[in-house]
Amino acid sequence: MTSPTLSIRNLTVDIPTRHGILRPVDNVSYDIAPGEILGVVGESGAGKSMAGNAVIGLLSPPAHIAKGEIHVNGQRIDHLKGEDMRRLRGKHIGMVFQDPLTSLNPLLRIGDQLTETILAHLDVSRSQAEERAVQALDEVGIPGAAERINSYPHEFSGGMRQRVVIALALCAEPSLIIADEPTTALDVSVQAQIIALLKDLCRQKGTAVMLITHDMGVVAEAADRVAVMYAGKLVELGPVRDVLTTPRHPYTDGLMGSTPLASRGKDRLHQIPGAMPRLDALPKGCAFHPRCPLTQNRCKTDPKPTLADGAGAACWFPLTPGAEVA
Amino acid sequence: MLAYIIRRVLQSGLVLLIVGLVAFSMFRFVGDPVDNMLGQERTLADVERLRDKLGLDQPFVMQYVKFLSGAAQGNFGVSYRQGRPVSDILMERAPATLELALVSGFLAISIGIALGVFTAIRRNGIAANLIMSLSLIGVSLPTFLIGISLIYLFSVELGWLPSFGRGDTVQIGGWSTGFLTETGLKALILPSITLGLYQMTLIMRLVRSEMLEVLRQDYIRFARARGLRERAVNFRHALKNTLVPVITVTGLQLGSIIAFAIITETVFQWPGVGLLFINAIQFVDIPVMAAYLMLISVMFVGINLIVDLLYFSIDPRLRADRAGAH
């Protein structure tokens, strides 16, 4: 196996507050290989975005990385600060945000936003940068890129703007893209196009993608592997087919069960009872036990189970035997 | 765009007509100037002759029309007190006020924006907090107190700067300027600080709060995520987006710098139109008061028009909307 583009080891993010320390990301480890798409799923507040922000160094204070290591292309980056981290952003790690309507500066032409990004990272002349900018727009499927380069963001539709955002994230050819809910704010009809575009571009360029989403459909369509997060912890990790068809963690099973499918007919949609606990009121033992249909005594008292390296489910009593964590 | 400009010019004209009516009403309702002008020893014949000469015996509407047509040609009649055409007196006095306002406005805008950006970027720094606390003085102290304090410190105690007047002036065409002599420049320092301090602190606090708001926006996060330099993020992306509201307020403030120069001019005995106005009030010199009122309203309306047009050059979204509107 080739060395991973992104490697996260025991990543822990803390937010100190007056009432104690909150831990939105707790001891999370995973790798993403070149050209691989890892879907990171979970409910709102599960820590998926927080982990992404930690990787690109954009945690807003007082949130900070308390423990663990992050390596990109073999280089350790979790301790980098200021100017060193800035050089990595855009050049090695690109990011796509949720809402394309607010991610672009409304007062600058998209061509200017592209060229400034290219000039910030690559050693090229202004005219070369402008050429690359047109090329980048062309790659993301914007028709008439040479003319559209002079347009302002408000002159594009939502889907087109997300294409521009993707072009911006990719224009300095980073080896890792963090896509934070890239389709959530888009029309359903456009979502599939954007996912397909992201997938194609990253396959072509061998870019690793951390695809943060709560949409199982998006994961099924795009991801190679899935990481399921719950209350800051990684609860299940594995190839997309295994996780979606034979989930081992009861939480993943619940998530899959609550995905609406046409084939299921008109029966009432299943839902996981209760809500994810707040970070300042995590239950003892496994954080999922109050909502879990399979809870036993051990789940309520014993220290939280952790995920074995590489794959599996962080559960005392996983659904499919054989992958139990010690 | 053109339709918009035409509409705005027409609106401005309407505003000026209404101000003209108010200014003119003073002739009818604020005392009888004839009493003042002729003094104690007068005959009825004297009174009649003067009324006839000033046109005060004509019907109200006739006088209004006469006043308006005169005003449109820059003719505001004859000063009751000095016996000279008001337009001549204003032309003599205007350069002093305009130069003072220009310097104050420049100080207020340049220092105000610079400090606003600084305090927003270094939000938690000691220097920024100190500046914010000091700015409360500028906002809350009345102008005359600031002026008198400055005179006491720099003129009386230290003896560095003159306490009143314009110093030597140089006549260029019909314009007398204080910019070209040393005493003229020295004389400008204290009055312009006094006049501009309030506006400066106001602009600074406004820029700061707008900037803090903009720095929270997604496109700023995205600019950071693309690895742009802090300088580019702060000035190219953030500052430009704060300018639209700042220009609105600044434009109005520039108008009031000219209009409310009255107090500063009184404190420093600055020979401008403000001082002229104060003296005119004491003598019920209505033509001068009316002309001053008209002059100030023309400036306010003009500045507002310029501000509205500046929006277009800054925000491309407005250009598109207007283009679609007609």
**What ipTM goes with this model?**
0.82
The shortest CB-CB distance from B316 to any of A91, A152, A168 is to A152
* Tens of pLDDT, residues B105-124: 889 889 999 999 899 888 88
pLDDT score at A320: 66
- N- to C-terminal Cα distance for chain B? 8
Chain B CB contacts of A116 below 8 Å: 228, 232, 236
Q: What is the 3-state secondary structure (H, E, C) of chain A?
A: CCCCCEEEEEEEEEEEECCEEEEEEEEEEEEECCCCEEEEECCCCCCHHHHHHHHHCCCCCCCEEEEEEEEECCEECCCCCHHHHHHHECCCEEEECCCHHHHCCCCCCHHHHHHHHHHHHCCCCHHHHHHHHHHHHHHCCCCCHHHHCCCCHHHCCHHHHHHHHHHHHHCCCCCEEEEECCCCCCCHHHHHHHHHHHHHHHHHHCCEEEEECCCHHHHHHHCCEEEEEECCEEEEEEEHHHHHHCCCCHHHHHHHHCCCCHHHCCCCCCCCCCCCCCHHHCCCCCCCHHHCCCCCHHHHHCCCCCCCCCCEECCCCCCCCCCCCC
Q: Residue B152 carries which DSSP code?
A: I
Chain B CB contacts of A168 below 8 Å: 222, 226
Kindly give, in sequence order, each residue whose CB lies less than 8 Å from that of residue A31, ignoring residues fewer than 6 positions away: A4, A6, A7, A8
Query: CB distance from B9 to chain A under 8 Å?
Result: no
The shortest CB-CB distance from A120 to any of B229, B241, B315 is to B229
Whether the Cβ atoms of residue A72 and residue A237 lie closer than 8 Å to each other: no
Residue A233 has phi, psi (to 5 degrees) of: -110, 150
**B314–A107 CB contact, under 8 Å:** yes
**A103–B227 CB contact, under 8 Å:** no
pLDDT score at A322: 47
pLDDT score at A326: 36
Token duo for residue B267: 């404190």
β-pair partners for A295: none
Query: CB distance from B313 to chain A under 8 Å?
Result: no
**A86–B232 CB contact, under 8 Å:** no
Query: CB distance from B213 to chain A under 8 Å?
Result: no
Whether the Cβ atoms of residue A57 and residue A25 lie closer than 8 Å to each other: no
Whether the Cβ atoms of residue A99 and residue A194 lie closer than 8 Å to each other: no
The residue that leads in pLDDT, A304 or A22, is: A22
Query: CB distance from B218 to chain A under 8 Å?
Result: yes
pLDDT in tens, chain B (326 residues): 777 788 888 888 888 888 888 887 776 666 666 766 676 777 788 788 877 777 777 777 787 788 788 888 878 777 877 878 888 888 888 888 888 888 888 898 899 999 998 998 888 888 888 888 888 887 888 888 888 888 888 888 887 888 777 777 777 777 777 777 777 788 888 888 888 888 889 889 899 998 988 888 888 888 888 888 888 888 888 888 888 788 888 887 877 788 778 888 888 888 888 888 888 888 778 788 888 888 888 888 888 888 888 877 777 777 655 444 33
Chain A CB contacts of B314 below 8 Å: 107
Whether the Cβ atoms of residue A136 and residue A94 lie closer than 8 Å to each other: no
A–B interface: beta-carbon pairs under 8 A: 82
State yes or no: pLDDT of A69 exceeds 70: yes
* Nearest CA distance, B166 vs chain A (angstrom): 43
pLDDT score at B111: 92
pLDDT score at A306: 67
* Tens of pLDDT, residues A264-293: 666 777 777 777 877 777 777 777 877 877
SS3 B78: strand
Mutate to test the interface with A, among B219, B233, B314 (most CBs of A within 10 A): B219
pLDDT score at B323: 43
**What residue in A sits closest to B219 (Cα-Cα)?**
A103
The shortest CB-CB distance from B316 to any of A89, A102, A107 is to A107
* Nearest CA distance, A317 vs chain B (angstrom): 41
Torsion sign over Cα B40, B46, B52, B57? positive
Q: How far apart are CA B310 and CA B248, in angstroms?
A: 9
Q: How far apart are CA A68 and CA A77, in angstroms?
A: 11
The shortest CB-CB distance from A56 to any of B225, B237, B320 is to B225
Classify burial at A303, counting beta carbons within 10 Å of its beta carbon; exposed 0-12, middle 13-18, buried 19 or more.
exposed
Mutate to test the interface with B, among A105, A113, A115 (most CBs of B within 10 A): A105
Q: Which of A38-47, A299-308, B97-106 has the lowest mean pLDDT?
A: A299-308
Tokens 């249909």 correspond to what residue?
Answer: A293
**B221–A58 CB contact, under 8 Å:** yes
* Nearest CA distance, B223 vs chain A (angstrom): 8
* Nearest CA distance, A304 vs chain B (angstrom): 34
Q: Give, in degrees to the nearest 5, the angle at Cα B211 between B207 and B214.
A: 145
pLDDT score at B326: 38
* Tens of pLDDT, residues A122-155: 888 888 888 888 888 888 888 888 888 888 888 8
